[in-house]
Amino acid sequence: MSILSALFQRRKNKYSNRTAEKELFDKENIPKKYDSALEKNIKSLENVFHQTVDFKKVPLKIGHQDAYLCYLTTTLSKNDLNSQILEPLRDAYKRDVEVKSIESIRETFFPAVSYEYVDSLSQVIWEMLNGSAILMIDKCKRALALNIGGTEKRSITEPSTQTIVRGPKDSFVEDMQVNMGLVRKRIKNPRLVFEEFVVGNDSNTKLALCYMKEIVNEDILSELRSRIKKIEASALLDTGNIEELITDSSYTFFPLLFNTERPDSTSGNILEGKIAIFLEGTPFVLIAPAVFTDFFQSSEDYYQPYFLTTFIRVIRYVSFMITLTLPSLYVAIVTYHQELIPTTLLINIQSQRESVPFPAVIELLIMEFTFEVLREAGIRMPRVVGQTLSIVGALVIGQAAVEAGLVSNVLVIVVAFSAIASFVSPVFNFSIAARLIRFILILMASIMGLYGILLTLVVMVTHLVGLRSFGVPYLTPVAPFKLKDQKDVFARFPFWTNTTRPSYLRTAAPVKMKNQSQPKPPSPNKGDENNG
């Protein structure tokens, strides 16, 4: 067993024989069936919510029958509660209403309100937690859950982490229903499926899988369902928690699932045959499976001319290699391979480093650590102050370090350029992998020079070849090489040539566009030529 496996091995909990809180909620503390006696149901709810101030129960009279309206003030809108439920029931006690069933009450007082009938107290509690008001009437065998809308939510704004110049400007929010609606707005197809789960033993968070029926690979979908059902976490507050629990490998710097807050990017991936994972409470959606080349592509690539997109993609790949290797190349060449530097440049570099008291590797690590601190401080501080700090702080500290003789001018250029290149990646968490591996390359370059860099890159590529995302090789369609998928990897071919879905997904419908050819101008009319 490897060291990492031993460190992260799951240990048996001494409380493992105890029943989970979710099971207590479903089975033991609450009666399985809804009781027709109103007082018994109210007492059961009071036992569950007796210590929370947001639980409210409003006594009502409908005709000659006693009733209660129960709800949580923190999960619904008070204005909607008053206008849609309490107002219709205001004079219900005066009306000569015969309560035959809960169905007749709904038809009489709430014909236009979204509803659901519940026949167990566990379901009553679940509906209340999801923002419904529960109407319970004495001697009725079922309760009525009225969904009148939730509390205030953040409005749809522009994406904050994946900005583009041309394309849709909306982004996901923390409400899962709104997010699913943004995808449904783009894919008006009955084959678009949203499959709901509940995850988190304590948080009971809603999760949804979104895919195109009759297109998605059923084997990948079944595997994803299986992994989600095995989740036994206490609470899941973001899709980052889901990512760690369902990925094929946790011992890697590289993300094995693609995350996005853009509805257009999510819709495009779903139409390709991939699966989107939505989680209540977060604006970031996961896309599975993901391959290495996905992290060099942006939704804007398909809105710009394909020649420009190809050029930008080349810049992204080059920037990734610059971020990864430029600092380590500086250390290796300055320390071991000075013969590779032109004489004039070598003299300039050595003259600048003459007053520097540290070797190249220590000098570089000091500056790299300083830039990482500035980067993190710029993110965590208030937005306006953070931008000023990251820019001014880098200039001031860099200039002061050079004047103090701690680092050379060339090193500041190397560190700054590699830091700027790391921001070219369209996906933030992918650039983190390059930043982390960069430190390993720097240390190897200080020990073995260019040979250390080459050895580390070989190990990295070997590691990438062995990675899988739900069984799909991470480096596909490059390794294994798939010729038919090369139209949208390093270069983007014209849109009318992209007629098939990625073959590595093994979708049920590999062809997505038929009889599409290059557009041409209309041929001149012979009659018009003769008249001319």
Query: Would you state the pLDDT for residue 9?
Result: 46
In a domain, 310, yes or no: yes
In a domain, 246, yes or no: yes
- Residue 519 preceded by cis peptide, ω within 30: no
Q: Is residue 275 very low, low, confident or very high in pLDDT (cuts 50, 70, 90)?
A: very high
In a domain, 224, yes or no: yes
Clarify whether residues 228 and 119 are in a common domain. Answer: no
Which tokens is 249 given?
A: 């490998």
Highest mean pLDDT among 133-137, 275-279, 335-339: 275-279
Which of the listed residues 453, 473, 493 is the one where a domain comes to its end?
473
Which of the listed residues 255, 290, 325 is the one where a domain comes to its end?
290
Domain interval for residue 106: 21-147
Clarify whether residues 469 and 336 are in a common domain. Answer: yes
Query: Would you state the pLDDT for residue 20?
Result: 38
Average pLDDT over residues 414-429: 86
The answer to whether the predicted template modeling score (pTM) of the entire model surpasses 0.85 is no
Given the structure tokens 């809308």, which residue do they identify?
149
pLDDT digits (tens, 9 = 90+) for 291-309: 999 999 988 888 888 899 9
Question: Which one-letter DSSP state was computed for residue 215?
Answer: T
Cα radius of gyration (the chain): 30
Clarify whether residues 345 and 379 are in a common domain. Answer: yes
Average pLDDT over residues 207-213: 93
Clarify whether residues 339 and 403 are in a common domain. Answer: yes
- What is the distance, to the nearest Å, from the Cα of residue 362 to the centroid of all Cα atoms in its chain? 37
Q: Across the chain, how many H-helices and E-strands are there?
A: 18, 12
Clarify whether residues 324 and 421 are in a common domain. Answer: yes
The three-class DSSP label of residue 314 is: helix
Instruction: Tell which residue, 180, 425, 169, has the closest CA to residue 303.
Output: 169
Which of the listed residues 421, 443, 473 is the one where a domain comes to its end?
473
Among 24-28, 233-237, 496-500, the least confident range: 24-28
Clarify whether residues 180 and 136 are in a common domain. Answer: no
Residue partners of 513: CB distance under 8 A and separation at least 6 = 496, 498, 499, 500
Sign of CA dihedral 6, 7, 13, 16: negative
In a domain, 166, yes or no: no
30 vs 314, more confident:
314
Clarify whether residues 314 and 458 are in a common domain. Answer: yes
Give backbone dihedrals phi and psi of 424, rounded to 5 degrees, phi first: -75, -25
Residue 206 to residue 200: CA distance in whole angstroms: 9
Clarify whether residues 261 and 315 are in a common domain. Answer: no
Instruction: Tell which residue, 108, 107, 114, has the closest CA to residue 133.
Output: 114
Clarify whether residues 82 and 200 are in a common domain. Answer: no
- Residue 289 preceded by cis peptide, ω within 30: yes
Q: Is residue 98 very low, low, confident or very high in pLDDT (cuts 50, 70, 90)?
A: low
Clarify whether residues 115 and 194 are in a common domain. Answer: no
In a domain, 168, yes or no: no
Question: pLDDT averaged over the chain?
Answer: 83
Residue 280 to residue 176: CA distance in whole angstroms: 5
Among 68-77, 84-93, 235-244, 504-513, the least confident range: 84-93
In a domain, 482, yes or no: no
Which tokens is 461 given?
A: 């590529």
Structural domains counted in the chain: 3
Clarify whether residues 321 and 280 are in a common domain. Answer: no
Residue 452 to residue 445: CA distance in whole angstroms: 5
In a domain, 478, yes or no: no
Sign of CA dihedral 452, 454, 459, 464: positive
Query: Would you state the pLDDT for residue 386?
Result: 57
pLDDT digits (tens, 9 = 90+) for 226-273: 999 999 888 888 898 999 999 988 788 999 999 999 999 999 999 999
Among 36-40, 251-255, 449-453, the least confident range: 36-40
Give the type of residue at 19.
T
Residue partners of 118: CB distance under 8 A and separation at least 6 = 34, 124, 127, 134, 142, 143, 144, 145
The burial class, CB within 10 Å (0-12 / 13-18 / 19+), for 4 is: exposed
In a domain, 211, yes or no: yes
Which tokens is 180 given?
A: 């699913």
Clarify whether residues 348 and 447 are in a common domain. Answer: yes
